[in-house]
Structure 1
């Protein structure tokens, strides 16, 4: 019973934080927020761990990818990504541009 209550608390917190993100982003960033929050649902956990949406500009989604191998995987399913996004949010993405991105650097602590 406790785990059920805890799960409910986290799910309502998750919805609350998601609503806050949409309110802060407004209509201008709504499509980017849609894509960013649902990226792993759209492309799957493995591809999402190797890529992330960067921006949406004039209907074009820009996605940063770890390396050429993962970029090729995403290019092969680009039409599926566009179709899946459209089926979930009923919004159009005209195209997707994939960019190679260096891995995020970890900050070193100063002593």
Structure 2
């Protein structure tokens, strides 16, 4: 009889990653990181004025309080998009819509 104690141990992360991949949920799980990344990338000050609304089909929707903030974010949206994609490891955000 072979003991199961002789098998190499796997971390919980490895087990979850295998399950997620097995079910084909990789992209869905990664997309759920976008709101957190948004806040980290733009910082607290901007995130308080420019709120994540949703992420759908490669488009990140952001709501702003004023036209001044809309203009500021519009000028910086490419750099925000590039930073999210860089952190993600591939192109997940195609466009950022600011309203």
What's the TM-score bracket when you normalise by the shorter of the two chains? 0.5 to 0.7
Decide whether the 8 Å contact of 2:61 with 2:96 is kept in 1: yes
- Give the unaligned 5+ runs of structure 2: 1-19
TM-score with structure 2 length normalisation? 0.65
Structure with more contact order per residue of length (Cα contacts < 8 Å, sep ≥ 6): 2
How many equivalent pairs are there?
Answer: 74
Structure 1 segment 30-45 matched on structure 2, within 5 A: 30-31=30-31, 33-45=32-44
TM-score with structure 1 length normalisation? 0.58
The answer for the alignment partner of 1:75 in structure 2 is 74
Structure 1 stretches of 4+ moved >6 Å? none
Structure label with greater radius of gyration: 2
Decide whether the 8 Å contact of 1:65 with 1:71 is kept in 2: yes
How much is the aligned-residue C-alpha RMSD, in angstroms?
A: 1.9
Deviation at 1:28, TM superposition (A): 3.2
